[in-house]
Amino acid sequence: MKQWMQSAPGHPFSLIYRLYRYILPDVRDELARWRKAAEQIPNGELRRQAISSMTTKRFHCQGGAVYASANLSKRHVLIPLIVAFQTISDYLDNLCDRSTSMEERDFRLLHRSMLDAVNPTAELEDYYRFRNDREDNGYLHRLVRTCQSCICMLPSYEVVRPLVEELVSFYGDLQVYKHIRHDQREERLLEWWRTRKDLAPGYAWNEFAAATGSTLGVFMLFLAASRPGLTLQEASAIRRAYFPSICALHIMLDYFIDQEEDALGGDLNFCSFYENDKVKWNRLQDLAADAREAAGTLPDSRFHRMIVEGLMALYLSDPKVRQQAGVREAAKELMRNSPLTRLFFRANSVWIRRRAY
């Protein structure tokens, strides 16, 4: 086993202990700090979306910060980095989902902030230049600067940097194409997939798009970069394991539990592009199997397998699952053959959602 992964927890109870003892309290403190900053945003719309992103999507930061449990000595770097980067992601997603603009240049410039966040030498821009709501009291700039400062403290970041920038670039492309005019978005997504489908053999266009919407590969590369001596071969193996399989499962689960909500809101949902429910459920099972297999290819595979099972438990424990009959039955089937998922569901994810932070 490689030295850089030797501190990763290998047992569910070890992981859960680290989460509640170290990770979740630190995430709580980071989010509280950013919420105070969000409350100072002068523009009402930007303030509302910034606060909402931390209220309704808090578990994104909690889940992402799990990676810091594998290197507790660097959690003072990894947790602020992961929380700041995920907060940018969630904030921009809110701005684009409920945007008065449907301009491609607006969405692309907003997401330029994420590319700048993972480039420690990037100069800040006016990311709101193409929209009416602009005054945020430096909120987005501070998030970007926090990421840049933390990245400078990762000893192997230059090794992972091209891979991180690739994944962040994919993420930005997705956010642009999924938020433009409704009569254009599916065709633009298909065109985009045709130029990159070799990166995800065997994955349909909606599954590739889902994979690009995950930040998990980026977080794992942050963790890998927190150890000195990382090689490009090791970093590339992480990227191959996480993208597309683990990343695709992540976001398809997200869409899986949001089907009813997205249908009512007219939002694009990648689960809606399957031929029928049977095909959809079978593909979710396939994606879960692919993710488990990919996790097994990495050093300290038990940690990555717990990531996959914990991910499934986190989404399948969402209250929205119980409110959708077909989704509820499919969720039971997804958990049926995985005792580890059921363990995290009962002992971890449900409790996280009930606990106030």
Phi, psi of 289 (to 5 degrees): -65, -40
Within a domain: 180: yes
Of the spans 2-16, 103-117, 258-272, 322-336, which averages the highest pLDDT? Answer: 103-117
Q: Give the pLDDT score at 4.
A: 44
Average pLDDT over residues 61-74: 95
Within a domain: 79: yes
Average pLDDT over residues 319-337: 72
pLDDT in tens, 294-309: 999 999 899 999 999 8
Residue 356 has pLDDT above 50, yes or no: no
**Of residues 352 and 70, more confidently modeled:** 70
Using CA atoms, how far apart are residues 58 and 246, in angstroms rounded to an integer?
21
Average pLDDT over residues 233-241: 97
Q: Give the pLDDT score at 102.
A: 77
Q: How confident is the model at residue 340 (pLDDT cuts 50, 70, 90)?
A: low
Phi, psi of 129 (to 5 degrees): -55, -30
Q: Give the pLDDT score at 337.
A: 66
Residue 314 has pLDDT above 90, yes or no: no
**Number of domains observed in the structure of the chain:** 1
Within a domain: 129: yes
Average pLDDT over residues 205-214: 98
Q: Give the pLDDT score at 16.
A: 86
Using CA atoms, how far apart are residues 40 and 229, in angstroms rounded to an integer?
41
Mean pLDDT, the chain, whole residue set: 90
Q: Give the pLDDT score at 327.
A: 73
Within a domain: 263: yes
Q: Give the pLDDT score at 353.
A: 53
Average pLDDT over residues 144-160: 98
pLDDT in tens, 10-44: 888 898 889 999 999 999 999 999 999 999 999 99
Whether this prediction's pTM lies above 0.75 is answered by yes
Q: Give the pLDDT score at 345.
A: 47
Of the spans 20-24, 218-222, 275-279, 328-332, which averages the highest pLDDT? Answer: 218-222
The first and second tokens of residue 20, run together, are 């509640």
Q: Which domain holds residue 163?
A: 8-354
Q: Which range, of 57-61, 78-82, 120-124, averages the lowest pLDDT?
A: 57-61
Within a domain: 227: yes
Q: How confident is the model at residue 151 (pLDDT cuts 50, 70, 90)?
A: very high
Residue 115 has pLDDT above 60, yes or no: yes
Q: Give the pLDDT score at 131.
A: 92
Within a domain: 3: no
Q: Which range, of 21-25, 30-34, 81-85, 260-264, averages the lowest pLDDT?
A: 260-264
What's the length of the chain? 357
**Of residues 116 and 333, more confidently modeled:** 116
Within a domain: 2: no
**Of residues 77 and 100, more confidently modeled:** 77
Q: How confident is the model at residue 1 (pLDDT cuts 50, 70, 90)?
A: very low
